[in-house]
Structure 1
Amino acid sequence: MAAGNVIPTRMELTRLKKKLVTAVRGHKLLKDKRDELMRQFMDMVRENMTLRKKVEEGIRQANRKFVIARAAMTSAEIKTALMMPKQEVSVDVSSRNVMSVDIPVFDIKTRTGDAADIYPYGFAFTSGDLDDAVKSLDDVLPDMLRLAEVEKACQMMASEIEKTRRRVNALEHVIIPETQENIKYITMKLDENERSSQVRLMKVKDMMLKEAHHYEM
């Protein structure tokens, strides 16, 4: 609100002073929130880079082992061996609050706790290379889910950082300076009014004294 559009009253001055106190406090809190979000965001970005490299390497190793298994077995034999999986995996999705951002948390659950259930075939007619390939994929699965969790968290935190940054800038460059300018304007106007009132009172007093003096004469 431009200073010229403000009603210069004491009530408005009191309201604006309260607004300024709230805006300054909110600006500090939002700056602290932005800084903490940035710190945690950078930690997650570093974790994301580490996990991505680990997952990509794990998938690359698993593919290499499947190629080796393919050399020892025919495509039909591999398809038959993997046709009926014994294990079942589910993912429970919850969330945790980080600086008012609800980031996802993935929890892996398997139908059974037997580690051998990842192999949906008997070992008599398959290659040990296929076992290594299946085990490699099983080993990389937790890291893949953690990577998905961290990447989603990074996206959500980046969005929250941008919103917080805009609010900080709005308070710092628009709301607080505008409120301070309005307070200054109202204070100046009230001082002017007070000086005008004093001048009028002095004139009235002089007139009354002159009139009283005239009557006395």
Structure 2
Amino acid sequence: MSGAVGREAVFPTRQSLGLMKSKLKGAEVGHSLLKRKSEALTKRFRDITRRIDEAKRKMGRVMQIAAFSLAEVSYAVGGDIGYQVQESAKQARFRVRTKQENVSGVFLPQFESYIEESVNDFGLTGLGKGGMQVQRCRETYARAVETLVELASLQTAFVILDEVIKVVNRRVNAIEHVIIPRTENTIKYINSELDELDREEFYRLKKVSNKKQRDSAAADAEILAKRHQADAAAMATVEPATQAQGELGATPDVLGEQEDTDVIF
């Protein structure tokens, strides 16, 4: 077993080898996709970070101008007009709508502000005096609220992307440093075991073939020995008969021309 991540607990077969190769291919494809997703999200995250910094700087300047504008209204009117605005406002003139943006499978909420022109409940505020300062203060605070909405949208996307990037990076690291090495170690283990089985099978077949050759050679030698014994036995039987015939001489011909003394006629 090589590597520090170990291997899968599988039985070394051809089927397991195919499954592990398919798993390795899927892990490599998944790692590539997640890596590209992480890069896209990181790029968007950096862009949002830059925009948040710009929005905060803009927010500081706008709120400073709004504070001076409110001070001008208080000086021009001669007091606080907050209660008048609260009593006059019945409906919201400044409104916010939301939509979603898909960034590599991650849905980021976006807040968009707009002004309802038909609603103007406190239009008569400052009619007696300080009307110009009130109008300018209202426009300044409208820009401040727009900046706040933009900053809230960016901040929400920032938090969501931060969490998603952490999860994606953990998955990428797990696939790269755990799953792929473990699968590769498993494939190496299965290949080594299959090679060992092939060597054992080759050795077994070689031993069986050698045994068959030895058995065949022994059977042929036994058959040849039996044949030699049979030939030797046959020769041993023929030689005494030939020798006896030689000792007795030739066999007389009863149908020959010599006369038989026992025959009366």
Q: Same-fold call, TM > 0.5?
A: yes
Partner of 2:248: none
1:28 offset after TM fit, Å?
Answer: 0.9
Deviation at 1:29, TM superposition (A): 1.0
Task: Show the counterpart of 1:165.
Answer: 169
The range that moved more, 153-162 or 86-95, is 86-95
Larger radius of gyration, structure 1 or 2?
2
Amino acid of the structure 1 residue aligned with 2:124: Y
Query: 1:10 maps to which residue?
Result: 14
Task: Tell me what 1:205 maps to.
Answer: 209
- How far is the alpha carbon of 1:62 from its aligned partner? 0.6
Structure 2 vs 1, CA of residues 102 and 53 (structure 1 numbering), >3 Å: closer, same or farther?
A: same
Change (3 A) 1:78 1:198: closer
Q: Which residue of 1 aligns with 2:229?
A: none
- Aligned-residue sequence identity (percent) comes to 27
Question: Does structure 2 conserve the Cα–Cα contact (< 8 Å) formed by 1:104 and 1:149?
Answer: yes
Structure 1 gap ranges (5+): none
Q: 2:113 aligns to what?
A: 108
Distance across 2 between alignment mates of 1:59 and 1:126: 24
Query: 1:81, 1:120 within 8 Å by CA — same for their partners in 2?
Result: no
1:82 touches 1:121 (CA, 8 Å); kept in 2?
Answer: no
Letter in 1 for 2:94: V
* Superposed CA offset, 1:157-208 (max 9, x none): 1111111100000000000000000000000000000000000000000011
Cα distance in structure 2, aligned partners of 1:110 and 1:65: 20
* Cα 1:81–1:145 shift into 2, 3 Å: closer
Q: Which runs of 5+ in 2 are unaligned?
A: 222-265
Q: Deviations over 1:36-78 (max 9, x none)?
A: 1111110111011101111222112111211222223343555
- 1:92 corresponds to 2:97: yes
Greater helix fraction, Structure 1 or Structure 2: 1
Cα distance between partner residues in 2 of 1:198 and 1:77: 100
How many residue pairs were aligned? 215
Match of 1:192 among 156, 176, 196: 196
Q: Which moved more, 1:10-19 or 1:74-83?
A: 74-83
Q: 1:132 offset after TM fit, Å? A: 2.1
After TM superposition, the structure 1 stretch with the greater mean CA deviation from structure 2, 178-187 or 83-92, is 83-92
Counterpart in 1 of 2:123?
A: 120
Shift of the 126–135 alpha-carbon distance from structure 1 to 2, 3 Å rule, reads farther
Structure 1 CA distance for aligned equivalents of residues 43 and 85 of structure 2: 48
